[in-house]
A and B are shown apart, each in its own frame.
Chain A
């Protein structure tokens, strides 16, 4: 589904990703962990198509297409969804109108008619219920004045409506209280299926307890330096990143 090969990316002339490789098959859940500033959000931005980032080397294939050639909106319509670490507040654009525009743009891309008002509202209501999202948020300006947790929940709500093939969760768990974490995890699990893959960027084990990743990767200094199963996350939680740094040191001196 997604094949990242030797990706190098920089922003404002500063090299952040330095030869990153990752393969994701349909239905897999991959966790990416790593110290602050290691390049996790940068990877997410490069995949979503943020124009400030320059890819200087490497390739990304998504569902057989050269992802890097596509605009951010084309990537989204091809089925890529990034739940932002810091969702943007957009005064004056209501959450409902925004989601309607996004959904209809995707349907147009797929050669489908726009959803009629009744079906759209039904879909909205159904997904809002899944995320236990307060309906008053839907008529408010997008993310404006939303609490940290509401913003994150709103991201997963959008994911639920847009039904992507690949979702990247960038620290969706941070800022969520215990109940919200459970609700968000339940939402993600409901949408996760054999065709829908997930990349979870996180610092903590707690979301992974719910999502049960197939693979855990450690990103450091712009590269994936270690990969393992879900037990790797537990090991990191216990020991921190030092033991990996030491391993790296050893392999370098060996």
Chain B
């Protein structure tokens, strides 16, 4: 077996720190690296990483972009972008680092984008102090600490009060692996003020034949009466691996809608956390992983009900083909004060091959007595009755299967409320199923 190497990371860390003396992130990075050194990479013995052997990704040495190497040619940007990007606030991140020149967004009174350092040093320092890195209190593992160790050219976004964004914010992550394996550490903090309304998209694109490992931490704070839709789209090449935490705090009574679509990639781990910190918060979380080849997707979700009257509904669906692996772990906490909450969770899987794997694990921890919680998971094959019905009407077996799988996926895809994005995902799925239109 190949040995796992992380020693060289210390040297990379020191290089990065000395190149960035005086940066407001210095101490955060130091703390991150201290934690990483202590925690190390998660092993299969770690309950949260039981089915995802992430250390396997560390049998090679990664280059870590320490200088300002966040450039790439325009052609690659165009290739990486999802359809419809030109009608969005298009924020380009190369190798984990924000590139303003390649981005195109129209600043207005409704929002502001700056570096995290600028946020800490300037007028947003209160936001930064209050909200930055709070996800580390929930995700206490070496992977999160690794992001904190190497975050660089990170971004702060403020969505101002009452702003109803007409265009989605699109975080377009591009990883250049034409000459070396790459470890990228995108880091984003978003604060959505009262009564604001935004849609956000993240996508990941590896350019080159060497391996990329993007390790992202995104923290989003949603205030009173604000509304957030967040779409994470994973359709990368098999040499593109990813771990990402999307940590959403509903600090005021607000509405959150997340959709995570995973279609292609290497080893992928998504943490989606919703922390309900105010009464009567509402969250809807959807996921679809439609996998083939050796793609491994692990979705860990958390809904933490800390106050009464919250509502959450969660539906994740998986279709697993060939040698792919799907993991779902859904945690619902109901804290002692969180009476009268409703929390629903469901995970449904279809296994198409004998060589595919599914692990699914709901975890409910309920410390209040007046709550409505339900969860369920299924792992099955295609419904034989339905298949027979379609065939009995003259529809070929393969087409009938495809129609049923498409229908299975559709329940999630229809939750995408950005038309070009929905169309894009539909086309990807139809292509996979060899369906016309």
* B394 CB within 8 Å of chain A: yes
Q: Please name 30 pairs of A and B residues whose Cβ atoms are closer than 8 Å in the assembled complex, sorted by A.
A: A48-B392, A49-B391, A49-B392, A50-B388, A50-B392, A71-B391, A71-B397, A73-B393, A73-B394, A76-B393, A76-B394, A77-B394, A82-B392, A84-B392, A88-B385, A88-B389, A90-B404, A90-B407, A92-B408, A92-B410, A92-B411, A93-B390, A93-B403, A93-B406, A93-B407, A98-B393, A101-B390, A102-B394, A105-B394, A158-B393
Interface size on A, residues (CB 8 A): 28
Q: A76-B391, A82-B392, A90-B389 are in contact. Are A105 and B407 (CB under 8 A)?
A: no
**Hey, which chain B residues are within 8 Å of A77, CB to CB?**
394
A101 B403 Cβ-Cβ under 8 A: yes
Determine how close the nearest CB of chain B comes to the CB of A111; give it in whole angstroms: 15
Interface centre among B385, B386, B391, B410 (most CB of A within 10 A): B391
**Hey, which chain B residues are within 8 Å of A49, CB to CB?**
391-392
Identify which of residues 392-406 in chain B touch chain A, using a CB-to-CB cut-off of 8 Å. 392-397, 399-400, 403-404, 406
Identify which of residues 89-120 in chain A touch chain B, using a CB-to-CB cut-off of 8 Å. 90-93, 97-98, 101-102, 105-106, 109
A105 B396 Cβ-Cβ under 8 A: yes
Q: A88-B385, A93-B404 are in contact. Are A72 and B410 (CB under 8 A)?
A: no
Closest to A103 in B: B394
**Hey, which chain B residues are within 8 Å of A106, CB to CB?**
394
Interchain CA distance A126-B395 in the complex, whole Å? 23
Closest to A143 in B: B389
Identify which of residues 59-90 in chain A touch chain B, using a CB-to-CB cut-off of 8 Å. 71-73, 75-77, 82, 84, 87-88, 90
Closest to A48 in B: B392
9 further A-B contacts with Cβ under 8 Å, apart from A72-B388, A90-B407, are A72-B392, A76-B391, A76-B394, A88-B383, A92-B406, A92-B411, A101-B399, A102-B393, A102-B394
Interface centre among A49, A84, A98 (most CB of B within 10 A): A98
B396 A73 Cβ-Cβ under 8 A: yes
B406 A105 Cβ-Cβ under 8 A: no
Interchain CA distance A98-B386 in the complex, whole Å? 12
B395 A73 Cβ-Cβ under 8 A: yes
* A220 CB within 8 Å of chain B: no
**Hey, which chain A residues are within 8 Å of B390, CB to CB?**
90, 93, 98, 101-102
Closest to A89 in B: B386
* A185 CB within 8 Å of chain B: no
* A31 CB within 8 Å of chain B: no
Contact indicator per residue, chain B 144-181, by CB within 8 Å of chain A (1) or not (0) = 00000000000000000000000000000000000000
A92 B394 Cβ-Cβ under 8 A: no
Interchain CA distance A158-B395 in the complex, whole Å? 13
**Hey, which chain B residues are within 8 Å of A51, CB to CB?**
388
**Hey, which chain A residues are within 8 Å of B404, CB to CB?**
90, 92-93
* A162 CB within 8 Å of chain B: yes
Closest to B396 in A: A73
Closest to A72 in B: B391
The one of B392, B394, B403 that contacts A109, using a Cβ cutoff of 8 Å:
B394
The one of A71, A92, A162 that contacts B393, using a Cβ cutoff of 8 Å:
A162
Determine how close the nearest CB of chain B comes to the CB of A5; give it in whole angstroms: 23
Interchain CA distance A49-B388 in the complex, whole Å? 9
Interface centre among B385, B390, B397, B399 (most CB of A within 10 A): B390
Interface centre among A84, A101, A102 (most CB of B within 10 A): A101
Identify which of residues 372-395 in chain B touch chain A, using a CB-to-CB cut-off of 8 Å. 383, 385-386, 388-395
A91 B392 Cβ-Cβ under 8 A: no
**Hey, which chain B residues are within 8 Å of A141, CB to CB?**
407
**Hey, which chain B residues are within 8 Å of A102, CB to CB?**
390, 393-395
The one of B393, B394, B400, B407 that contacts A91, using a Cβ cutoff of 8 Å:
B407
Closest to B410 in A: A92
**Hey, which chain B residues are within 8 Å of A87, CB to CB?**
389
**Hey, which chain B residues are within 8 Å of A98, CB to CB?**
390, 393, 395, 403
B392 A76 Cβ-Cβ under 8 A: yes
**Hey, which chain B residues are within 8 Å of A162, CB to CB?**
393-394
**Hey, which chain A residues are within 8 Å of B408, CB to CB?**
92
Closest to B388 in A: A50
Contact indicator per residue, chain A 43-57, by CB within 8 Å of chain B (1) or not (0) = 000001111000000
Interchain CA distance A158-B397 in the complex, whole Å? 19
Determine how close the nearest CB of chain B comes to the CB of A237; give it in whole angstroms: 30
Closest to A158 in B: B393
Interchain CA distance A92-B408 in the complex, whole Å? 7
Q: A90-B407, A92-B408, A92-B411 are in contact. Are A73 and B397 (CB under 8 A)?
A: yes
**Hey, which chain B residues are within 8 Å of A75, CB to CB?**
392
Interchain CA distance A141-B392 in the complex, whole Å? 18
Determine how close the nearest CB of chain A comes to the CB of B332; give it in whole angstroms: 25
Interchain CA distance A50-B410 in the complex, whole Å? 28
Interchain CA distance A200-B242 in the complex, whole Å? 59
Closest to A50 in B: B388
Determine how close the nearest CB of chain B comes to the CB of A166; give it in whole angstroms: 13
Interchain CA distance A132-B299 in the complex, whole Å? 48
Closest to A51 in B: B388
